[in-house]
Amino acid sequence: MPNDTVIPETTVDIALIEAHIRDVPDFPREGILFKDITPLLNHRKAFAASIDALAAPYRGMGVDHVVGLEARGFIFGTPVAMELGAGFVPARKAGKLPSETIGQAYDLEYGTATVEIHADAITPGSRVLIVDDVLATGGTGRAAVELVRRAGGTVVGFSVLMELSALQGREKLPDVELHTLLSV
């Protein structure tokens, strides 16, 4: 399954969305150009357009659950789940969920981290969409895909607001339909 799908601009007001993402140089450290989405979240039309665009390719596809990746994936994933009439599953850092969990480790630049979901959050056979704000190196996304599959779910896609293409995260998701609104 190809992972290079980009939502056609005719269905999305990309300019409105882009206009509400602020560049912050040297944050969180020198040499980094941070993409700040807080102006997007604060603008009701731009935020609504982004939610609509993230959900659009999956309308009518029988999505049962939307998995949102901590933390900003929660912000986008929850309203996408509502748009699709699906349940929401938070994928959190290890030790943050209160009940029995399943986890998946992934590599960081210096070490590893683990993402977890509740063990009973996804029932076998469920159709699952993964949502996040940014696709960077792809490690967290790959871990989420593996968690969904281990729980018995089928990943129908990965929908992301923004892809940092220079970091080549999509290479870790060759078997997942990937929808990105912006590639920077």
Query: Known catalytic residue: 142?
Result: no
Contacts of 123 (CB under 8 A, 6+ apart): 64, 151, 152, 153
CA 53-56-58 angle, to 5 degrees, is 135
SS3 for 18? helix
The secondary structure of 60-116, three-state, reads CCCCCEEEEECCHHHHHHHHHHHHHCCEEEEEEECCCCCCCEEEEEEEECCEEEEEE
Catalytic residue among 29, 30, 100, 109: 109
Specify whether 150 is catalytic: no
Q: Which of these is catalytic: 72, 83, 146, 149?
A: 72
For 20, the 3-state DSSP assignment is coil
- Taken as a whole, the chain contains a residue count of 184
Long-range contacts of 29-34 (CB under 8 A, 24+ apart): none
DSSP 3-state assignment of 148?
A: helix
Going by the DSSP 8-state scheme, the letter that residue 125 receives in this structure is T
Catalytic residues, which ones?
72, 109
